[in-house]
Amino acid sequence: MKKIILFILICVSVNSYGQQILWTTNKNKLFQNSEIKVIPKEKVLNKLLEYFENYDKYYDGTGYTKDGFFREFEGDHSNLEIDNQKWGNFKKSIYGINELTISCVKTNSGSGSNILILIVKKDNIDFITFSNQYSKGSIYTYNGRINDEKVRFVKFYNSLIED
């Protein structure tokens, strides 16, 4: 799972055109791109429920401080060739967020698409990834009781955006 997130983060940091960034709640040109669609926070849950219904699995990537988040992933990609300036701009954008900001990134890892939801607050960052790929820690979106799973997912999401 960490490799999927790393791949997505590299795409975000290297691609300044925002082709993978679907939307954000941040009106202040997050990721240095003014072409990214801005949606109100009230519409985010409906978007997430669409992904929940279209993907088989999701992953809980919650509980990071901003420093801990970057430490975790920078250690993994220190040997990869990425544009350090663009990665630095990505980090600067994340560190510059001081209020709840939710952003959505879509990418294709070669084995199907993945949706990364970044939930950034003043001091911490959480993420949820939707995917059809199995990896350790996956949570199935459907196990025969879709309504129960949706209710549980909504409670999980709401716990992440509470102040």
**Whether 56 contacts 142, CB under 8 Å:** yes
Task: To the nearest 10°, report the CA torsion of 163, 138, 38, 45.
Answer: -60
Domain range for 144: 2-161
Q: What is the pLDDT of residues 110-160, one digit of tens each?
A: 777 889 999 999 999 999 999 888 778 888 887 666 678 889 999 999 999
How many CB atoms sit inside 10 A of residue 104's CB? 23
55-81: average pLDDT:
79
| Residue-level pLDDT at 3 | 47
| Residue-level pLDDT at 82 | 55
| Residue-level pLDDT at 76 | 56
Q: How many domains does the chain have?
A: 1
| Residue-level pLDDT at 163 | 66
How many CB atoms sit inside 10 A of residue 114's CB? 23
Q: Which residues contact 32 (CB under 8 A, 6 or more apart)?
A: 16, 89, 93
- Give the side-chain half-sphere CA count within 13 A for 143: 10
| Dihedrals phi, psi of 59, to nearest 5 degrees | -125, 135
| Dihedrals phi, psi of 142, to nearest 5 degrees | -145, 125
